[in-house]
Every structure is written in C-alpha cells, then in structure tokens.
Chains A and B, each alone.
Chain A
Amino acid sequence: MTSNNNSNEPAVIQIKGLKKSFGANHVLRNFHLELHQGENLVVLGKSGSGKSVLIKCLIGLLAPDAGSIKVLGDEVPELSHDALDKLRVKVGFLFQSNALYDSMTVRENLEFPLRRHWIKTTKESVNELVRHALTDVGLIDTIDKMPAELSGGMRKRIALARTLILKPNIILYDEPTTGLDPITSREISNLILAIQKKYNTSSIIISHDMSCVKLTSNRIIMLIDGICYATGTYAELCQSTDIKVKQFFD
C-alpha cells in the first residue's frame, strides 16, 4: 500500500450530486467523488450497487439524471459528440468483461483505438505503438493470436494494453481482478501499480477484491445505497466500527 497523500494535488475528476435511476431502481442517489492527480482511488461496493453505472456516467456511456461530472475540466454531460470523443482519448476504460473484439487479432484490437479519423499516423508508428503497449503488459509474443486463444489473465492484460495505447491521463478500471485466480489477480494489481508509476496516471479502480484493494488503493470510497457512505485509506476503514463498512474488511 502506498501512503502518499495526493489531496493537495489538483482534482482531475469531480462528481457532485450525481443521480441515476433506471425506472424505479434508484442506483445513484446523491454521489460525490473527487479524484486527484496521480491518485489511485478505489470505489468499493457490493455487486449491483451501481459501480459500473458510476464510471459509465464518467465516460459518457450513460447520461446521468442530475448532477455535475467534471473530467479534466470538461462537464461531461454537456459535451458535444466530438468533444466527448476527444476527452475519451485522455480517459482509458478497462471493461469488466475486457470487451476484446473477438473477431480480431490482438494486433487489430490494439490498432482499433487508433482508427479515430483525426489521428494521423503512419503504418510504422502504429506498429511501434502496438508493440510498445504490448511490451508494457509483458505479452509481446501474443501479437498475432486471437483473444479466444488467451487465458483470462492474458486477456485482461491485452485489454489493459489497448487502454494504454493512447497514453491516457486517467484510467478507469472496472473490477480488474474479478474472475481471476489469486496469483493472477495479484499480478494484475501489481501491473496497475507499475503503470501508474510509469505514466503518472490517475485511476479509479472499482473492486471488491480486498487483496487488490489493499495493494492498489491510496484512498477508498465506499458506495453503499447510492451514496458515498464512507471514505478513507485502507488502514482507516479497517478500524471502522460501522457494520456496513466492516463487512467488507472481515
């Protein structure tokens, strides 16, 4: 666990009063969050508590019902399609299910984010970027494989490489270790830390895998009943006597 304090760094993400419902299902009710430059913030919550909904609102995949979402100074719900597209280059998203395109090879998967029509690149530089991203996650020799030929941990790494290829300032991880064995899970957690050190990214990591949380978090926000129920470092929340907080740390 890293204990450096980022609270005096500038905020790269600010969420205020976020509300989101699906019909009568009030998922987020009045959620606040602040992510500082260089920070690893873990959002902890039960399955179905709205963690994925939260980060999908952040990247404009879902529209919030109310509230303000500021990412790198832009108010996300008000952005035009093109402006949102430009913002998304700076915000990487690692999907829970990896979301690798299973009809494409690893190389084509990594090239896909570079298709943006306003990114002008030569064939050599694309190749260079792909190799570089794959080297970062230690899987350069899978470049011509199909995703289906890879193990769960490898797929997660490839998905991370695809996120890294545009050198994002912020990375959103949706349950990066769920469904992996404890050893692979630790490898992924360490990779997340290594990436953050190397590129000085700020991250929101959604998880309920406590060993990953312990390893990666600078600070934790507990999402319970649609609000920010508690916040603190791992060590602080461990000491909590609140029953709803405690059940995560037992």
Chain B
Amino acid sequence: MTSNVLDNFLNEIGELSRFMLRFFREGFKPRYEFAEFSRQCFNIGNKTLPLVAITGLIMGLVITIQSQPSLQAFGAESWLPSVVAVSLVREIVPVITALICAGKIGSSMGAELGSMKVTEQIDAMEVSGTNPFKYLVVTRVFAAILMIPLLIILSDTIALYGAFLGVNMKQVVSFHLFSNQVFESLSFGDVLPSIIKAFFFGFAIGIIGCFKGFSTTNGTQGVGRAANSAVVTSIFVVFIIDLMAAQIGDILSIL
C-alpha cells in the first residue's frame, strides 16, 4: 500500500520532469504561436485581475491594522509603514497572489486541456499538422511566466495603498510621507528576489496545470480529477518554491 503510493508519486515526478524537458526542448524553437500566446495572457489577466486586486487591498489593510498594536507597544508606531511594506512585498503578496492564480489558472488549464484530451481535440490538432504541445502547452506556460509576475507587481502596489489606508485609520500620515518611508525601507534586495520568485511561481503553475490536463485519462471523470490535482499540486509546489527561495535568500545574505 505505502510502496504503491510512493511508486505513484515517483512515477508522477518522472512524468512531470519529462514534460518539463519537452517544454524546454520545444518551447524555444519555431514555429512561435504569438496569437495564441497573447490570447492566453489576456485570459489569465482577465480571469484573475479583479480577485488579485481586491485581495491585495485587503492584505495591505489587514496586515497594517494587525501590526499596529504590537509596534505601538514598543513605541515604534512610526515604523509601521516600513515594517508592513517589507513583509507585504517580500512574502505575503507574492505567495497569496500565486495561490489565487494556482486556484484560478491551474484549475482552468487542467480542465481545459483535460477536456480537449478526452474529446480527442489534441489528437485532431496533431493530425491537422499543428503541434499541440507548442500550440497549447508552450503558449500557456509562457503566458503564466509573464503574467503572474505582472499580477504580483500590481498586487504589491495595491497592497501598499491598502497599507496607506490602514495607517491612516489610527493616525494621520500624508501619502508623501508614507511613500517616502516605504521606498526608504524597501531595498532592491527586497524587491528583486520576490520578482525572481514570481517567475518560478508562474512557471510552476503553468507547467503543472498543462501537465495535469495533457495527461488526463478516463473520460469526463478524469477532467475533474485533472483540474483538482492541478490546483492541489501547484499550491504545494508554490510553498516549496517559497521555502527554497527563503533558504537561498538567507544563504546569499550571509555571503
């Protein structure tokens, strides 16, 4: 029983690695499907933008409101903007946004490609002389790699605005002063790693969603399973990447 689970798990890892290898082999060779790529970018933005924006605002507000009492206890209330900005930009916003995207984009890629697989649409593409891997997978993965960092940057901005609103609930701080404090505390070393991390989030969400969809079997039942497992796996991988990024960041800062 346990050996079976382990077996399946290792099998899955092997299949996924082969899928990723195929992506790197085919992803950079012509023919390039620009029209489909931009359609996918639009899709991702269109699906997640409102949700990402609202969540960003709420995160900014909530983190600020909750940090205020403890900073006040130390008499360090004036540090509020800097403390909140760093934790939002470095950690909270990228991870929460990636989780939202894993839910929204991962599931829709898994379901869409899965249903194309079981209704033979992928075979039909193959016989019509279009490489389905290039047309469907490569475009979606690149779209996720491009769009998820953009969504995270957008969400960062909105979250910082939320923090500004949060700060102003208890004290009066001008936007000018607030943004001065934020930009003083945010160093390049805070922003760059979080953006690099965002690219990895995008790649993971895209490739896992497509992998799950592309390897769907067992008819309509399999489509639901593909969508579900795309979400679960990509959420898990987002946390793994986050942990690894934190470790690597730590090592690099010691050096």
Contact = CB atoms under 8 A, between A and B. Distances in A.
Contacts of B123: 56, 61, 95, 99
Contact of B127 (A61, A96, A100): A61
B12 interface: no
B119 A113 contact: no
A88 B119 contact: no
Contacts of A56: 123
B121 A101 contact: yes
B139 to A, nearest CB: 13
A116 B135 CA distance: 12
B127 A93 contact: yes
A93 B128 CA distance: 9
B124 A95 contact: yes
A112 interface: yes
A32 to B, nearest CB: 24
Of listed B31, B112, B119, residue having the most chain A CB within 10 A: B119
A88 B130 contact: no
User: Among A59, A99, A101, A103, which residue has the most Cβ atoms of chain B within 10 A?
Assistant: A99
B130 A112 contact: yes
A115 B125 CA distance: 10
Nearest to A112: B128
B129 A99 contact: no
A98 B116 CA distance: 11
A59 B127 contact: yes
Interface in B113-155: 115-116, 119-121, 123-130
Contacts, number: 45
A162 to B, nearest CB: 8
A137 B116 CA distance: 24
A113 B129 contact: yes
Interface residues of A, number: 21
Interface in A88-108: 88-89, 93, 95-103
Contacts of B129: 85, 88-89, 113, 115-116
Contacts of B128: 88, 112-113, 115-116
A80 B121 CA distance: 22
Contacts of A113: 128-129
A103 B135 CA distance: 14
A96 B130 contact: no
A91 to B, nearest CB: 8
A115 B127 contact: no
B130 A95 contact: no
Interface string B89-128: 0000000000000000000000010011001110111111
B119 A99 contact: yes
B120 A95 contact: yes
A118 to B, nearest CB: 9
A180 B120 CA distance: 18
A98 B31 CA distance: 27
Contacts of B31: 117
Nearest to B124: A99
A168 to B, nearest CB: 11
Contacts of A116: 128-130
B130 A115 contact: yes
A112 B128 CA distance: 7
A59 B124 CA distance: 11
Contacts of B125: 101, 112
Tell which of B112, B115, B124, B125 has the most Cβ of chain A within 10 Å. Answer: B124
Nearest to A118: B129
A189 B157 CA distance: 62
A151 to B, nearest CB: 17
Interface in B60-113: 112
Interface in A67-100: 85, 88-89, 93, 95-100
B120 A96 contact: yes
Interface of B: 31, 112, 115-116, 119-121, 123-130
9 contacts: A56-B123, A88-B128, A89-B129, A93-B124, A99-B119, A99-B120, A99-B123, A101-B116, A101-B124
Given A101-B125, A102-B115, A112-B128, 17 more contacts: A56-B123, A59-B127, A61-B123, A61-B126, A61-B127, A88-B127, A88-B129, A95-B124, A97-B120, A98-B119, A99-B123, A101-B124, A102-B121, A113-B128, A115-B129, A115-B130, A116-B129
Interface of A: 56, 59, 61, 85, 88-89, 93, 95-103, 112-113, 115-117
Sort A-B residue pairs by CB-CB distance and give the 6 closest, nearest first: A99-B124, A116-B129, A113-B128, A99-B120, A95-B120, A97-B119
